[in-house]
Amino acid sequence: MSEMNLVQAIQSGLRNAMREDQDVVLIGEDIGKLGGVFRVTQGLQEEFGADRVLDTPLSETGILGVAIGMALHGLRPVSEIQFADFIYPGFDQLVNEAAKYRYRTASELHVPMVVRTPYGGGIRGGQYHSQSPESLFIHTAGLKVVCPSNPHDAKGLLIQSILDDDPVVFFEPKRVYRALKMEVPDEAYTVPLSEAKIVRPGEHVTCVAWGAMLFEALSAADEVRKQGVDVEVIDLRTLWPLDIDTVVNSVKKTGRFVVVHEAPRTCGFGGELVTLVVERAFLHLEAPPVRVTGFDTPFPLTHEREYLPLAHRIAPALLQTARY
């Protein structure tokens, strides 16, 4: 057991997976000698060699296309896209190829690949280094979408994603990369996909979040507790397939629902979560569900704190919902 931040935990997970399975290979821009833009893969090429940690040209289409070919021929590639904002040139490869092979071949062929990519704001990256495109991939049948919030979950979820026989898009909240440390086992372990986690039990309002916004939700919950509102906070961890039962059971208990995410409001995953809750727990609701999200604008640089749904925006929504 060691104290690790998110970067170290993900690196540890990659190292464990590569040591246990020779078919696990890494592919991406500058991930070898440089160790990646955030140094997540630092030292892995030295340990496993350039034939298993492959530096690529600057081509997301190429990275993902090559990874699909690798996966179809027996390897388990883990691709790194430097920022989630850069994933769009390879979007067709993911949604029209990787996501559809199992369906096209009646499960004869599988694409066991993971696409790692840092997402979200909080580091003053501006509009090309701060986007949260998770809903685009959740919308695509055949892809699994994972988003850890802390080092322990990140390592276990990553190893489980590598073991999975379907393509997984693994979003990493870069704002959290070095923001906290926690005890993480040095050996390999897994955290099941599709299991949400209640990280703060409560009685009055259910609040769902993921990635960096989980900590903003927890901070807001601590703030409104001073005013007598007890918030149950749920970390989704796997966005799709969704653990809707944990969310619905919580809403049936509290009667109120707030969802928080960084992505723009319109067609964000929060809207789907609200719909699922209303469909399954309508008669238990005592207030309209509320979304606290990014705005329907490009991600701003100078107004980053106004754009992000930080605790100072979440707390009023929790109070409003509790007092409805």
- Active site includes 152? no
The reported pLDDT for the residue numbered 5 is: 98
Residue closest to 110 by CA, chosen among 165, 169, 168: 165
DSSP state of 163: H
Intervals of CATH 3.40.50.970 along the chain: 2-184
Residues in the chain with pLDDT values less than 50: none
pTM for the complete prediction?
0.96
The reported pLDDT for the residue numbered 124 is: 85
Q: Which residue has the tokens 């440390």?
A: 181
**Contacting residues for 73 by C-beta, under 8 A, at least 6 apart:** none
Four-way CATH pick for 197-322: 3.40.1160.10, 1.10.10.10, 3.40.50.920, 3.40.50.740: 3.40.50.920
Torsion of CA 274, 277, 279, 282, to 10 degrees: -110
Contact (CB, 8 A) for 148 and 236: no
Q: Which residue has the tokens 């090429």?
A: 45
The reported pLDDT for the residue numbered 78 is: 98
Q: Which residues of 53-79 are buried (b: 16+ CB within 10 A; e: fewer)?
A: bbebeeebebbbbbbbebbbeebbbbb
The reported pLDDT for the residue numbered 243 is: 98
Query: Tens of pLDDT along 206-241?
Result: 999 999 999 999 999 999 999 999 999 999 999 999
The reported pLDDT for the residue numbered 122 is: 85
The reported pLDDT for the residue numbered 287 is: 98
Query: Tens of pLDDT along 248-295?
Result: 999 999 999 999 999 999 999 999 999 999 999 999 999 999 999 999
The reported pLDDT for the residue numbered 125 is: 82
Count Cβ atoms below 10 Å from residue 286 Cβ, excluding itself: 13
Four-way CATH pick for 2-184: 3.40.50.2000, 3.40.50.970, 3.10.28.10, 1.10.1040.10: 3.40.50.970
Intervals of CATH 3.40.50.920 along the chain: 197-322
Among candidate residues 110, 129, 139, 261, the one labeled active-site is: 129
E strand residue ranges, 174-300: 182-184, 197-200, 205-209, 231-235, 238-240, 257-264, 290-294
The reported pLDDT for the residue numbered 315 is: 98
